[in-house]
A and B are shown apart, each in its own frame.
Chain A
Amino acid sequence: MNKNKRYSIFSLARNARGYHKNWAEAWRSPEPKQSYDVIIVGGGGHGLATAHYLAKEHGITNVAVIEKGPIGLGNTGRNTTVIRSNYLWDESAAIYELSLKLYEGLSQDLNFNIMLSQRGLISLAHNQHDLREVQRRVNAIRLNGIDSEMLSLAKLKELVPILNLSPTSRYPVLGASIQRRGGIARHDAIAWGLARSADDRGVDILQHTEVTGLRIQGGLIKGVETTRGFIAAPKVGVAVAGHSSVFAEMAGFRLPIQSHPLQALVSEPLKPIFNTVLMSSTVHVYLSQSDRGELVMGAGIDSYNSYAQRGSPMILEDILAATCELIPIFSRVKMMRQWAGIVDTCPDASPIIGKTPISGLFFNCGWGTGGFKAIPGSGFVFAHTLAQGEPHEFAVPFALDRFTTGALIDEHGASGVAH
């Protein structure tokens, strides 16, 4: 990155002297070329991370990221920004831990502060079964070399003094686990930082360009039809989350994916009151406080299929009931905004990464309710998959054919909340 573009204390001072009028644009808005080596459909976190690692790790820079709106305004800008790698199975542990490690170095890598805050992530247990399950997961996670530990009620009280630990509550808290390296980050910064880094290495980010069709001849991908004309490429990577089934239908194959709305909401800003991420599967909520002071919370998906980016009020009621149950002093906090994103849920709550029945067409989808934490790891393995034409070793177990072989990776319990 050249000196004028790189962010540092010196560039801040230099631009302050120019009344901040001379900052370089973070990424260009180029005209599409007629052809690229690789096209990535979808300018969310996963697509942008794929472009970043294609350029950085594989030297492939003749790449276009095609996004129908502005980048990062789909699920990347709609999630609750939780980052963790406390998954049960070895396959998941490998890819989510890779992602967490990449997140830990991402601000330096991108020269863009993603505001990663490893404040610790607590999963609560409310009954004996929960407690055994949480303990089992802690052991499994530690066997994979990932940090995880049990928390006594006394420790929990110390970490989250406002948590309702009364033994007479409807669902009393009996214990918890914590992943101390878990936390939150600034979601917009991740999209912007990845886009800026990819663009700097030569990747074209084509915003407000919708892919309307895939051109396939003799089982080979030739390129994509867009609202700005046909763009050719021998390799196309599709990272479109909730719209994956629509693209699979264009290509003539079926996916086991169902699209559902997942809601989140934020409160009015409060002074710093709690400094961890709290999750509960039994009363079903996940909760943290953003750097702006808002409480950020979310829970389960709406039951029915939808592409509408809006959720039902009864889910909101459940989220708020659970929040008030866990932290009663939040009962008078006003909620400010509520929204939904369309998540691509898979039968085994694990992603699908890799080849499709069309040669040269690759999919990265099925991250469902937990895609944000996976952004760098997913981009890293998908970039490798696109560059080599063969799946990265961490992506092999997540191939589409696992639904035929039966080698599912059941992570339904992994989030500490039901998927």
Chain B
Amino acid sequence: MLLIDCPYCGPREEIEFSYGGEAHIERPKQPDKLSDAEWADYLFMRNNPKGPLAERWCHSYGCRRWFNVERHTVTHEIQRVYKMGEPRGGEEGT
């Protein structure tokens, strides 16, 4: 079981949280201009790396707020916890 450090409540057990999948997927700004392939990419295609993954978690049984976590998918080590809207690791201002 993971120990997740909620940025609002502090470290809590994984069982209090819900998983939200890959983070930083941006909703299309002009949906009516999107091709079918672009829709497929936005709706269905996902990064599924064997290594660090930026993902969303929700503290469902706590503050009920969403935040981002960078976690390694082999070791499960949580490398970084950061709030929604903050840039992912190694990038600036996105």
Contact = CB atoms under 8 A, between A and B. Distances in A.
Contact of A314 (B1, B18, B73, B74): B1
Contacts of A404: 36-37, 39-40
Interface of B: 1-2, 14-15, 18-19, 21, 36-37, 39-41, 43-50, 53, 55, 71, 73-76
Please name the 8 residue pairs, one residue from A and one from B, whose CB atoms are nearest each other, closest first.
A245-B48, A256-B44, A303-B19, A254-B45, A404-B40, A403-B44, A403-B40, A307-B50
Contact of B44 (A249, A306, A308, A347): A347
Contact of A313 (B1, B37, B53): B1
B15 A257 contact: no
B73 A308 contact: yes
Interface in A301-338: 303-308, 312-314
Contacts of B55: 304-305
Interface string A255-294: 1111100000000000000000000000000000000000
A405 B36 contact: yes
A183 B48 CA distance: 33
A148 to B, nearest CB: 31
B2 to A, nearest CB: 8
Given A306-B76, A312-B1, A256 B14 contact: no
The main secondary structure of chain A at its interface with chain B is loop
Given A304-B55, A404-B40, 10 more contacts: A245-B50, A246-B49, A254-B45, A255-B45, A255-B48, A256-B44, A304-B71, A305-B55, A313-B1, A403-B44
A90 B37 CA distance: 26
Interface residues of A, number: 24
Contacts of A257: 46, 48
A256 B21 CA distance: 12
Contacts of A258: 21, 46, 48
Contacts of A405: 36
Contact of A305 (B1, B40, B44, B53): B53
B21 to A, nearest CB: 7
Contacts of B49: 245-246, 249
Given A305-B53, A305-B55, A312-B14, A259 B73 contact: yes
Given A254-B41, A314-B15, A405-B36, A308 B48 contact: no
A215 interface: no
Nearest to B76: A308
Interface in A386-407: 403-406
Given A259-B73, A306-B76, A314-B15, A246 B50 contact: yes
Contacts of A259: 48, 73
A243 B50 contact: yes
A244 to B, nearest CB: 8
Contacts of A243: 50
A254 B41 CA distance: 8
Nearest to A304: B19
Nearest to A405: B36
Contacts of B50: 243, 245-246, 307
B3 to A, nearest CB: 12
A254 B1 contact: no
A406 B47 CA distance: 20
A407 to B, nearest CB: 11
Contact of A256 (B15, B36, B45, B53): B45
B36 A305 contact: no
B46 A254 contact: yes
13 contacts: A245-B47, A254-B45, A254-B47, A255-B45, A256-B45, A258-B46, A305-B53, A308-B73, A347-B43, A347-B44, A403-B44, A404-B37, A404-B40
